[in-house]
Chain A
């Protein structure tokens, strides 16, 4: 029952209240800001699965996001595929690339993995930038068709909003189930002590690869959404600094926390928009917020919590820890 209430509050907020408020404050621009926040929420939630839950710090997430975006853009412009095909294909292609690229680095731990993913992310960026015949290089790909379905809805800011919102909710659902379940416990065991996890019968490499694959899938879908909603992508959108932005969102919101990921995206993308004078100093704000949250809030704003528990807590439905041991699936 509580579960049902929390879910309906969440859906109501995302699907009715938020778009209502956005159109009330003047639509267009704010819808685009919210769409960007939505895309980055998906990215941060997905990166969180690798970094927060499985404990592998990834500094190359923007690269995988770029693979998804370019896959979508090329499929949509060259082959004229509709969005309901490009998005899942982008996800799958990115996941496959993610696995292939990350397979050799799975043995690495800690900073070595972090730096290896930095290398992978930059390899992807350099390739996008220089493989001019395929990606059009620094010119980028423009005139990517928006999200539309003949006879039902056409490309507009509101369509974009709903597409991003629905996919973000789906991502939260899938990633939430992966994180807040016994499977999530297995991933956390890998994070806490991989050797010990192996001696308890967990297939550590398998778990790492699976979490990487799921994370890359959603990064790819987020890239696809970005391509469809903005209509133009260039390699500059998928640089190292974007990986850092994603990392900062995760750190601020709380590593391993799905609502934290969304909150991080809202803070780091929303604040500069709302507080205009800060807008110019966006990356400085990102750096400063990241620095101070590592220093003062090592667990981030929300720690390792699930979406529903945050909603529940807000409505005073305090939850008894002992009743919630184990995962009801």
Chain B
């Protein structure tokens, strides 16, 4: 069986800067994959390429055997790739419920005529999906709260809830544990594990190595836009190339 997500020698140049260069990799169905690398390695750019936020300079991305490289971002989301953002992008002026309903709207489509004719089934479906996602993330009690009033930790869950309302097959998390304390990080890891248990494939960027090592089945390492290692957490953490990328070579350190 082909992997759910397959990246084939993806390249992205910004002028002379090679943000992502010849990156190949994949995520299998139900797999939890971590993507690590020093700052500025091109991880977020790679995420933007996968979700078609930024067009590829060359290469291709396949999702479930369909070439998504030239699709618009919203089409990719509807195919089943949902993401969260590194710098939280909740909509502060909308309620928690309305925030999450955006994901459900993305999945079920939005038509002005449904609103005009008051199609009841449609509204119920969106409502149900939204509540499901809220319950999954434990936000149901704050549903009527404005998103701006949530704590930082809760906002992280709000972003995940919004992504879950899309009913994705692949969930992409950009630094989910950043800014969380140890207890919160542990809770988040447990939560992600539960999602994965329900069959969701997960690709995440994270700087917290404990989080990545305990959670992910496989880790890809990026440095200067290239993939430098790919393997189980143990393999990767003992790889001299990876250590060098993180710590710098002897001469540089001296």
- A→B interface (CB under 8 Å): 174, 177-178, 181-186, 188-189, 192-193, 195-204, 207, 210, 214, 321-322, 325-329
Contacts and interface: CB of A to CB of B under 8 A. Distances in A.
B214 interface: no
Nearest to B91: A192
Contacts of B98: 185, 188
Given A181-B115, A326-B97, A201 B89 contact: no
Interface of B: 51, 53, 72-74, 77-78, 82-83, 85, 89, 91-95, 97-98, 101-107, 110-112, 114-116, 118-120, 122-123, 126-127, 130, 143-144, 162-163, 166
A328 B101 contact: no
A326 B123 contact: yes
Contacts of A177: 115-116, 118
Contact of A326 (B91, B101, B166): B101
A207 B123 contact: no
28 contacts: A178-B115, A181-B115, A181-B123, A182-B101, A182-B122, A183-B111, A183-B115, A184-B115, A185-B105, A186-B105, A192-B92, A192-B93, A192-B94, A193-B89, A195-B53, A196-B85, A198-B53, A199-B51, A199-B74, A200-B77, A200-B102, A202-B74, A202-B105, A203-B74, A214-B112, A322-B144, A325-B144, A327-B127
Contacts of B123: 181-182, 326-329
B115 A182 contact: yes
Interface of B is mostly: helix
A207 B166 CA distance: 18
A300 to B, nearest CB: 13
Contacts of B83: 199
Contacts of A196: 85, 89, 91
9 A-B pairs closest in CB distance = A201-B106, A201-B77, A192-B91, A183-B115, A329-B123, A181-B115, A329-B118, A326-B127, A186-B110
Contact of B102 (A189, A326, A329): A189
Contacts of A203: 72, 74, 110
A188 B53 CA distance: 20
A200 B144 contact: no
A200 B95 contact: no
Contacts of B122: 182, 329
A203 B102 CA distance: 11
Best-buried of A188, A192, A200, A203 by chain B (most CB within 10 Å): A200
B91 A329 contact: no
Given A182-B105, A199-B53, A329 B93 contact: no
Interface centre among B53, B102, B107, B144 (most CB of A within 10 A): B102
